[in-house]
């Protein structure tokens, strides 16, 4: 019998391929009947909300593990650069698991998920601003723009791997160089 975590893992894998999959399709992907899926999640929105919560958990865990807050307040360029590299690598790994969450419109409509996302964005923006202040990243764009650029790179990375344009093993190097050199200080 599939557990709730098994169902969520299967749904995530399937939504990364087909973000519009119905509950019936997701039940099949999880190897359970629709009734079983509905016992765990009353609606597709409930399932997406749980997956959105989990993707935000990973985002927050990545910020914590890279010590984004500590790096941002340190003023140490080497520490900030190491944090940026670590964080982007973590974000890419997270997008392997939660790629659908980058573009799913439901996740933008859930007030609690949106409020939490806004708080996580603020933590990132502080890191980008610190990177600008130390000359790591260009200072002629708003730090929020750098956050949007990272988000765009994550979406592009997901699609590039899916379409076979970039091998997953090369993705960290491609994305890191694009962000750090393309957005590097001038």
Say what the pLDDT of residue 183 is.
Answer: 54
pLDDT per residue over 129-147, tens digit each? Answer: 999 999 999 999 999 999 9
**Please, which pLDDT band fits residue 65 given cuts at 50, 70 and 90?**
very high
As a CATH number, domain 45-182 is 1.10.357
Cβ(129)–Cβ(69) below 8 Å: no
Cβ(141)–Cβ(88) below 8 Å: no
Nearest in space to 25 (alpha carbons), one of 5, 47, 4, 3: 47
3 state DSSP class of 165:
coil
pTM of the full predicted structure?
0.88
Instruction: State how far the alpha carbon of 55 is from the alpha carbons of 51, 59, 100, 184, in Å.
Output: 6, 6, 10, 28
- Distance between CA 3 and CA 165 in Å, rounded? 35
Domain ranges, ordered by start, for the chain: 1-42, 45-182
Q: Which residues pair with 184 in a beta bridge?
A: 137
Say what the pLDDT of residue 181 is.
Answer: 86
- DSSP code for 77: H
């Amino acid at each position: 019998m599939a557990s709730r975590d098994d169902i969520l893992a299967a749904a995530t894998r399937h939504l990364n391929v087909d973000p519009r999959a119905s509950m019936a399709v997701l039940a099949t992907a999880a190897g359970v009947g629709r009734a079983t899926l509905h016992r765990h999640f009353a609606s597709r929105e409930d399932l997406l909300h749980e997956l959105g919560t989990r993707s935000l958990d990973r985002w927050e865990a990545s910020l914590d593990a890279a010590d984004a807050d500590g790096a941002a307040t340190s003023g140490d360029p080497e520490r900030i650069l190491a944090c940026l590299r670590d964080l982007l690598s973590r974000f890419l790994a997270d997008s392997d698991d939660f790629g659908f969450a980058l573009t799913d419109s439901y996740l933008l409509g859930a007030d609690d998920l949106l409020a939490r996302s806004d708080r996580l964005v603020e933590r990132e923006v502080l890191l980008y601003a610190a990177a600008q202040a130390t000359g790591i990243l260009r200072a002629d764009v708003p730090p929020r723009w750098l956050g949007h650029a990272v988000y765009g790179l994550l979406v592009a990375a997901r699609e590039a791997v899916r379409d076979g344009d970039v091998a997953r093993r090369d993705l960290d190097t491609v994305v890191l160089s694009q962000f750090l050199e393309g957005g590097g200080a001038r």
